[in-house]
Amino acid sequence: MRAQLVMTPQLAGAVFDDALRDRLRGVAEVDVDRVVSDPRELDPAELAAVDVLITGWGAAPIDERLLAAMPALRAIVHWGGGVGFISPAVGARGVAVSTGREANAVPVAEWTVAMLVLAAKDAFWMSRRYATERRALDREELMPRSGLFRTVIGLVGASSVGRLVIDRLRSYDVDVLLYDPFVTPEDAAAMGVELLGDLGALAARASLLSLHAPETPATAGMVSRSVLASLPDGATLVNTARGALVDQDALIDELRAGRLRAILDVTDPDVLPPEHPLHELPNVFLTPHLAGSTGYELHRLGESAVAEVERFARGIPFAHPIEP
């Protein structure tokens, strides 16, 4: 079985350590030091002989023209989450596809829970006040509604990340509401959450609103001006999903009025222009898309991908298949 690594070349070493490279060599004919971002960089004869593509961030689109040049291709193992770069023609030809979405969901869920805990404790905003005033601060006077105990947390989307967040919140004394039109009441009951069919009604009850829905035409702008207006005074919006889910202009209006707070790991666009108001507003905690896998966490993505290649080599179905 011949395999080829396709991703931004500089990422290969961060994702696949020596042990993972040895495991790849153990099940496939692969040059782990030869990494390309586009399979078309290979000699046509080499390209035609590849059975498995191991892809990652920065991989070029895999379209029908590339498929025609790869008659031996039987599988694509992607260590990233999204597979939008893979044409539906791949599935139509019977090529199996695996994704690292589940592995990448872990650090996003961990980040989300950390942000929810810190937001409930007013940590970001009190830190800024402490740095500015540099004096003793009366917590009981200034933070009468802080803390996580019996807080109502609203989650939008029972995605891979959303379900992990739900699972981790079970150890906290909180009430979890869920909005997801694809979740049944039975599934919600099994997860231990209260399912609501109206996002505005969920927002009206939530002190913390965390987004975990995918970006689709149906979800773009779903956290609308009216949904934001439904949130109680002092509520915090946490977004680790996609910036386009939120009516950003409406959010800025609420933030400028001082009514809401926001913890944003994603925005629209994802890299804001230098003069954008979200950089300056004191009730925003803004990070440059850090929630997903970074540093040591990239090895989890590599581990997941190598395990999938090993399964494929043994004739076992992927643990994390996906339809492109």
Contact 191, 207 (CB under 8 A): no
pLDDT of residue 247: 98
Distance (Å, rounded) from C-alpha 225 to C-alpha 246? 9
218 and 196 together in one domain: yes
Q: What is the pLDDT of residues 54-71, one digit of tens each?
A: 999 999 999 999 999 999
Reported confidence tier of residue 168, pLDDT bands at 50, 70, 90: very high
Q: Please, how many CA atoms are within 13 Å of residue 43, restricted to the half-sphere of its CB? A: 4
pLDDT greater than 90 at residue 301: yes
Q: What's the full length of the chain, in residues?
A: 324
- Number of compact structural domains in the chain: 2
Q: What is the pLDDT of residues 32-49, one digit of tens each?
A: 999 999 999 999 999 999
pLDDT of residue 145: 85
| Nearest in space to 231 (alpha carbons), one of 257, 256, 252, 260 | 260
Reported confidence tier of residue 324, pLDDT bands at 50, 70, 90: confident
pLDDT greater than 90 at residue 255: yes
Distance (Å, rounded) from C-alpha 79 to C-alpha 301? 5
Which structural domain, as residue segments, surrounds residue 137? 105-286
Domain with residue 35: its CATH number is: 3.40.50.720
pLDDT greater than 90 at residue 106: yes
Q: What is the mean pLDDT of residues 253-281?
A: 97
158 and 75 together in one domain: no
Mean predicted lDDT score pLDDT of the chain: 96
The percentage of residues in the chain with a pLDDT greater than 70, rounded to a whole number, is: 100
In a domain, 320, yes or no: no
In a domain, 319, yes or no: no
276 and 143 together in one domain: yes
pLDDT greater than 90 at residue 195: yes
In a domain, 158, yes or no: yes
Q: How far is CA 269 from the centre of its chain?
A: 16
Side chain identity at residue 42, one-letter code = L
92 and 149 together in one domain: no
Q: What is the pLDDT of residues 108-164, one digit of tens each?
A: 999 999 999 999 999 999 999 889 999 998 888 888 888 899 999 999 999 999 999
200 and 217 together in one domain: yes
